[in-house]
Chain A
Amino acid sequence: GAVVSQHPSRVICKSGTSVKIECRSLDFQATTMFWYRQFPKQSLMLMATSNEGSKATYEQGVEKDKFLINHASLTLSTLTVTSAHPEDSSFYICSASQGIDEQYFGPGTRLTVT
């Protein structure tokens, strides 16, 4: 089946620093990748949608200058949380789609900002 990996699985950083999270589709080419965040006991909230080689489309209320997304290839997308603050602490999950409406999710990255 389609496998999506994320790295790192957990990261702790100090307030004001930047953190990069990688999302890779391991055995398929992902035309579209999605980034979600999930707070405890909440559902996934879509942050942005990215297509390979083009700029990401951000959901309303998501700061594009704070959450930088790069979809450099058909197998790799990165999310950089810039100048992280404690309120950015969350579970970040990516998903990848081959363009047939099914999305395959990564295992998630737990970010803690101290």
Chain B
Amino acid sequence: QKEVEQDPGPLSVPEGAIVSLNCTYSNSAFQYFMWYRQYSRKGPELLMYTYSSGNKEDGRFTAQVDKSSKYISLFIRDSQPSDSATYLCAMSGAGAGSYQLTFGKGTKLSVIP
């Protein structure tokens, strides 16, 4: 079993739809959870950063972490064509020096006008 599982998609939705992206993980030591957006041939861009369980909202984006289920989600409301990209979940362990990220494979999202 891989440490982080993420459905690669592709996921295609109409403009304005609510998008739900998910990752599951197996390592209970993960404490920090991130979502990155990566446009084609570009480096990843940090979208959301959360610590431990709970929700975090930033504009149209909401990140949820459920540590008991080892499950994280990213919701995108009122999706726009500019949201079309690959979304990578990433996580890291606790404590100083635990900066190494473990990535999911990424989900390719297309928002159709």
Chain A positions within 8 Å of B, measured between CB atoms, are 4, 6, 32, 34, 41-44, 46, 49, 91, 93, 97, 99, 101-108, 110
B91 CB to closest chain A CB (Å) equals 10
**Per-position binary interface string of chain B over residues 16-41, scored 1 when its CB falls under 8 Å from any chain A CB and 0 otherwise:** 00000000000000001010100001
Residue of B nearest to A97 (CB): B99
Across the interface, which residues of A come within 8 angstroms of B34, CB to CB?
102
- Stretch in B63-71, B76-84, B102-110 with 4+ CB within 8 Å of A: B102-110
Assuming A43-B88, A44-B88, is B103 touching A105 (CB within 8 A)? no
Closest 3 CB pairs of A and B: A105-B43, A108-B43, A43-B103
Q: Say whether A43 contacts B106, CB under 8 Å.
A: yes
Docked CA distance A79–B98 (Å): 22
Residue of A nearest to B108 (CB): A41
| Chain B binding surface SS class | loop
Q: Say whether B36 contacts A46, CB under 8 Å.
A: no
Tell me which of A41, A99, A103 contacts B46 (CB under 8 A): A103
Q: Say whether A93 contacts B43, CB under 8 Å.
A: yes
Q: Give the most central of B8, B34, B41: most A CB within 10 Å.
A: B41
CB of B1 closer than 8 Å to a CB of A: no
Across the interface, which residues of A come within 8 angstroms of B14, CB to CB?
none
